[in-house]
C-alpha cells in the first residue's frame, strides 16, 4: 500500500510538472517567434503550433532573433494522408539577395507514398546544393526531431539525432562556407504543386484541405543576435568561444559516421554532387 501511495504521488507530481512545462513551452514559442504570413492560419494549442494550408493561402512564422552558429532543433508532425503538392519548410535564413540559408523542406506525396526530405544550402546567395532522402519512419503519425548543428567546421542536418547530411568547411578548395551572416529560424506550409511531387506531375487535391502541419517544442542552443544591436561576427564568430566549437565537435564520431553511411546508402534518392546531367562542371565541394 505504501508503494502504491508513493507511486500515485509521483504520477500526480509528474502530471502537474507536465502541465507546467506545456505552459512554459507555449510562452517560449511566443517569446521567440512571431507570425509573418497569414496569421489567421496559425493556431497554438498548449505547446503545439499548427500551420494550415487551404486554397486561399499558406502561412509562416519566424524568430524574433537571428543566430550565428549553434544547435537548433524542432519537433514536427507532417501533413497526414494525401499531402501531394504541399511543402513544409523549416529553415534558417539571413536577409538580402546574397544571403546564407539552411533548409529542411518536406515534400508531400499521395497517400501511401513516402515523404521526401529535401535539404539545401545557400552561401552568399548561391544554392543548388539539394539532397533528397526518404525516411525510415512515417513522419505524419508522431513528432520527430529535425536539427541543424552549425559550427566553424561543418553543418550537420540531423533527423532524430541521426546525421543525414554533412556540409564540411572547405575554404582551401575555394568553397564558400556560411560564417558571417546571422540567420533567423523560419517555419512555413505552402502549395508547391508546380514542382514538389513527382516534379509537379501530381497536383494538390484541395478537396482534402485544410492541410495541417504541427510544430512541437523547439530547442535553440545558439548564439543569438539582436538585429540592429549586435555585431554578429564580433559576438558569435570567434572560434572556440562556445561549446559547439570544442575539439570533440570538429568531426563526426565513429557512431555518427556509421549512421551517416547507413542513411546515405539506404535512403538517399538524389544528390546534386552526382547529377552530371545538371552540372557540366561539378561544384568544388563535390570534388574529392
CA 5 to chain centre: 43
- Is the confidence at residue 180, as pLDDT, over 80? yes
Q: Classify domain 29-286 by CATH number.
A: 2.60.120.200
pLDDT band at 47, cuts 50/70/90?
confident
Could you give the dihedral angle defined by the CA atoms of residues 260, 268, 183 and 170, in that order, rounded to the nearest 10 degrees?
60
Residues 6+ apart with CB under 8 A from 195: none
258 versus 44: which is more confidently predicted?
258
User: Which residues carry out catalysis?
Assistant: 101, 105
216-230 pLDDT per residue, tens: 989 999 999 987 677
On the question of a cis peptide bond just before residue 135, with omega within 30 degrees of 0, the verdict is: no
What lies within 8 Å, CB to CB, of 259 at 6+ separation is 162, 163
Give pTM, 2 decimals. Answer: 0.89
Mean pLDDT of 171-196: 96
Three-class DSSP labels, 20-82:
HHHHHHHHHHHHHEEEEECHHHEEEECCEEEEEECCCCCEEEEEEEEEEEEEEEEEEECCCCC
Least confident of 23-32, 92-101, 152-161, 274-283: 23-32
Q: What is the mean pLDDT of residues 79-101?
A: 96
The lowest-confidence range among 3-12, 48-57, 61-70, 102-111 is 3-12
The pLDDT-based confidence of 138 (bands split at 50, 70, 90) is very high
How many Å separate Cα 73 from the centre of its chain?
Answer: 7
**CA 193, chain centre distance (Å):** 21
Cα of 243 vs its chain's centroid, Å? 21
Amino acid at each position: 500500500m505504501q508503494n502504491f501511495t508513493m507511486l500515485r504521488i509521483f504520477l500526480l507530481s509528474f502530471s502537474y510538472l507536465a502541465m507546467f512545462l506545456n505552459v512554459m513551452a507555449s510562452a517560449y514559442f511566443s517569446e521567440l517567434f512571431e507570425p509573418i504570413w497569414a496569421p489567421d492560419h496559425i493556431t497554438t494549442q498548449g505547446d503545439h503550433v499548427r500551420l494550415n494550408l487551404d486554397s486561399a493561402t499558406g502561412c509562416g512564422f519566424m524568430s524574433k532573433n537571428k543566430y550565428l552558429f549553434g544547435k537548433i532543433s524542432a519537433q514536427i508532425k507532417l501533413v497526414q494522408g494525401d499531402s501531394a503538392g504541399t511543402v513544409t519548410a523549416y529553415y534558417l535564413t539571413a536577409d538580402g539577395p546574397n544571403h546564407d540559408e539552411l533548409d529542411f523542406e518536406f515534400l508531400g506525396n499521395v497517400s501511401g507514398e513516402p515523404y521526401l526530405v529535401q535539404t539545401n544550402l545557400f552561401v552568399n546567395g548561391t544554392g543548388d546544393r539539394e539532397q533528397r532522402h526518404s525516411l525510415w519512419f512515417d513522419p505524419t503519425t508522431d513528432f520527430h526531431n529535425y536539427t541543424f548543428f552549425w559550427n566553424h567546421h561543418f553543418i550537420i542536418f540531423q533527423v532524430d539525432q541521426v546525421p543525414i547530411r554533412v556540409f564540411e568547411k572547405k575554404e582551401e578548395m575555394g568553397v564558400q562556407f556560411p560564417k558571417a551572416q546571422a540567420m533567423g529560424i523560419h517555419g512555413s506550409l505552402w502549395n508547391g504543386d508546380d514542382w514538389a511531387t513527382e516534379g509537379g506531375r501530381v497536383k494538390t487535391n484541395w478537396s482534402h484541405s485544410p492541410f495541417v502541419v504541427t510544430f512541437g517544442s523547439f530547442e535553440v542552443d545558439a548564439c543569438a543576435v539582436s538585429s540592429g544591436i549586435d555585431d554578429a561576427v564580433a559576438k558569435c564568430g570567434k572560434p572556440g568561444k562556445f561549446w559547439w566549437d570544442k575539439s570533440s565537435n570538429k568531426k563526426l564520431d565513429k557512431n555518427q559516421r556509421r549512421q551517416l553511411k547507413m542513411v546515405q546508402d539506404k535512403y538517399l534518392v538524389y544528390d546534386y554532387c552526382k547529377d552530371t546531367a545538371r552540372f557540366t562542371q561539378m561544384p568544388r565541394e563535390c570534388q574529392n
